[in-house]
A = this chain, B = another copy of it.
Amino acid sequence: MSKEKSQKIPEVTIRRLSAYHRCLVRAREEGMKVISSSTLAKNCGVNAAQVRKDLAYFGKFGIRGMGYYVDGLFTDIKRILGIDRVWNMALFGAGNLGTALLFYKDFLKQNYHMVAAFDIDPEKLQKGAIGGVPIYHPDKLPEITHREKIDIAIIATPVSKAQGVADQVVQAGIRGILNFAPTRLSVPDNVVVKDVFFTNILDNLVYLLTASR
């Protein structure tokens, strides 16, 4: 798939692919061989036409009148999303949220491995590891990034530290950032940042609640 082609695909389609992937994981666990677009749609809370349209971006996947081979579609979506390999992640800031992420089990199921955590708190460094993930001082970032082949940085520091950490992360050659610190990070164009701002998500929820009253 060329860069040009892939970049035209709407972000909502990618988000839905990720949801289809989750449904296909369950379908495989249940031993299903073939799944209809309407079943897939129902399990993901969209309509069947939307499923067919989303999958059409990436070529023909369906078997006319039947649906999709579960294994085939599962493998194809993994490849499209780039999750057909292991992605190594490092956590920055082992506070309450950071610690919760170190214990988060759902990452592993989807080929996301937490390989290192960074914090400056001497007590945490003394412990050596949280949730089985080794903790290092940020001074070690360049060395650990190289040794552990870190692809993604998860920033869960206070707002005041987030940009500094992002700068160090980028300098170490990491190109993907999942940012939980409620502030916009400034990074070079070749670095991808995804923000998870809980209050923005709540704002959105509250807007929908207000609008539908």
Contacts and interface: CB of A to CB of B under 8 A. Distances in A.
A contacts with B: majority SS: helix
A137 interface: no
Contacts of A204: 11, 14-15, 18, 194
A176 B107 contact: no
Give the copy number.
2
Contacts of A202: 87, 89, 107, 110, 112, 152, 178, 194
Contact of A207 (B14, B43, B190, B211): B14
Given A7-B212, A96-B103, A176-B208, 17 more contacts: A1-B211, A3-B212, A11-B204, A14-B207, A17-B203, A19-B184, A45-B184, A81-B206, A81-B210, A104-B198, A106-B182, A106-B198, A110-B203, A152-B209, A176-B206, A192-B212, A194-B205
